[in-house]
Amino acid sequence: MISTKGRYGLRVMIDLARNDNGNFIPLKDIAERQEISKKYLEIIVKRMVEGKLIVGSSGKGGGYKLIRKPEEYTVGEILTLMEGTMSSVACLADNAYECPRKKKCETLPMWEEFDGIIHDYFYGRTLKSLL
Amino acid sequence: MISTKGRYGLRVMIDLARNDNGNFIPLKDIAERQEISKKYLEIIVKRMVEGKLIVGSSGKGGGYKLIRKPEEYTVGEILTLMEGTMSSVACLADNAYECPRKKKCETLPMWEEFDGIIHDYFYGRTLKSLL
DNA sequence: AAGTTTACCTATTATAACAGTAGGAAATAA
DNA sequence: TTATTTCCTACTGTTATAATAGGTAAACTT
């Protein structure tokens, strides 16, 4: 299940795209429009800055801004950054321990196929498509 | 992300289908074959009995047994029973609070479409297909 | 009737993630 | 230098996960 990190993160990206006028957009404005606590959003955007999805600028006239054009972000990369992994099961997560039953597991092929569907869905959809 | 409840539950169902000979199958045997703690599996199968996926019988010669034929179970119903919900976001879960931003939410349509894909995938697949 | 096997039932626990809140320091522009 | 805004560290309450522990009840066998 997608947590608030992923959901709010996406909404911040949409908000930044929607209200882009070339200047930095203060988090206060985003928080008000999106009706999310600014304090909590700080955690969200921090990760987005670290992940190079957006850029921040301190001080007056500061705020956040997209780095690329909306059509150059996939929803998948945004969610993956925010959620850590997009795998449906722990066995297939990025940091997965090597499961000893891997070869004889009767459910693994299904999880793999399903993860492929998830991947195709979210990586085949751009931020622009959400505007 | 699918938890051990869903993953182990599915494996128990497969194990019961695979080893079905008309008799009840003791949990001890399932636990050994699946390499999962019997104690933990008790929690899993309890829920499956309550959800009418399987039936249990105490005493010598007891154990668990499928109620229907493998082709009459969908993976979706098994996972939904074990996980509680198969929604990708809290806003769409069965017990969802009524989100005040529902009408203007720009991400909701995507989550709804995605949940449809999840639903189609898992409900269009039977236990038999995993054998 | 006794013993064995098996499900069934009620706790308890350790760990981690989630969803925030709080308070201040540093940077930037007017 | 003052206002604004990001940036940083720490803290907290709640819930879910992934179990473990110990016992009771039922059913079959001898």
Q: Which residues of A are less than 8 Å from B101 in CB distance? A: 35
Which helix (H) or strand (E) covers residue B66, if one does?
Answer: strand B63-66
* Strand boundaries in A62-110, DSSP class E: 63-66
CA pair distance A36, A29, nearest whole angstrom: 10
Q: What angle do CA A35, A39, A44 make, to 5 degrees?
A: 85
Q: Compute the nearest-CA separation of B109 from chain A (Å).
A: 9
Is the model's pLDDT at B114 over the cut of 70? yes
Residue A43 lies in a domain: yes
Is the model's pLDDT at A126 over the cut of 80? yes
Q: What integer is the mean pLDDT of A75-87?
A: 97
Verify whether the Cβ–Cβ distance B87 to A117 is below 8 Å: no
Residue A129 lies in a domain: no
Cβ pair A19, A54 in contact under 8 A: no
Q: Higher pLDDT residue, A96 or B41?
A: B41
Q: What integer is the mean pLDDT of B70-96?
A: 94
Report the DSSP beta bridge partners of residue B18: none
Per the structure, the complete domain to which residue A42 belongs is given by: 4-66
Structure tokens at A77: 């990369």
* Cβ neighbours around A131 below 10 Å, total: 11
CATH code of the domain containing B22: 1.10.10.10
**Cβ of A63 near strand D (distance < 7 A):** yes
Interface contact B106, partner A, CB < 8 A = yes
How many separate domains does chain A show?
Answer: 1
Residue A127 lies in a domain: no
Residue A8 lies in a domain: yes
Q: What integer is the mean pLDDT of B18-41?
A: 97
Q: Which of B27, B77, B36 is nearest to B57 (CA)?
A: B27
Verify whether the Cβ–Cβ distance B107 to A2 is below 8 Å: no
Q: What is the pLDDT of residue B97?
A: 74
- Rounded to the nearest integer, the mean pLDDT of chain A is 96
Q: What is the pLDDT of residue A97?
A: 74
CA-to-C1' distance for B31 and C7, Å?
14
Residue B103 lies in a domain: no
Per-residue confidence band for A96, with pLDDT thresholds at 50, 70 and 90: low
Nearest to A101 among B35, B111, B122 (CB): B35
CA pair distance A98, A91, nearest whole angstrom: 8
pLDDT digits (tens, 9 = 90+) for A22-67: 999 999 999 999 999 999 999 999 999 999 999 999 999 999 999 9
Q: pTM (2 decimals)?
A: 0.94
Q: What integer is the mean pLDDT of B15-42?
A: 97
Residue A74 lies in a domain: no
DSSP for A26-53 reads -HHHHHHHHT--HHHHHHHHHHHHHTTS
A–B interface: beta-carbon pairs under 8 A: 54
Residue A11 lies in a domain: yes
Cβ pair A107, B125 in contact under 8 A: no
CA pair distance A37, A40, nearest whole angstrom: 5
Interface contact A44, partner B, CB < 8 A = no
Nearest residue of A to residue B128 by CA position?
Answer: A106
Q: Can you give the C-alpha Rg of chain B in angstroms?
A: 17
In percent, how much of chain A has pLDDT > 70? 98
CA-to-C1' distance for B58 and D29, Å?
14
Q: What angle do CA A29, A32, A38 make, to 5 degrees?
A: 85
Q: Higher pLDDT residue, B96 or B18?
A: B18
Question: How many angstroms from the chain centroid is the CA of residue A35?
Answer: 18
Residue B92 lies in a domain: no
Q: Which residues of B are less than 8 Å from A92 in CB distance? A: none
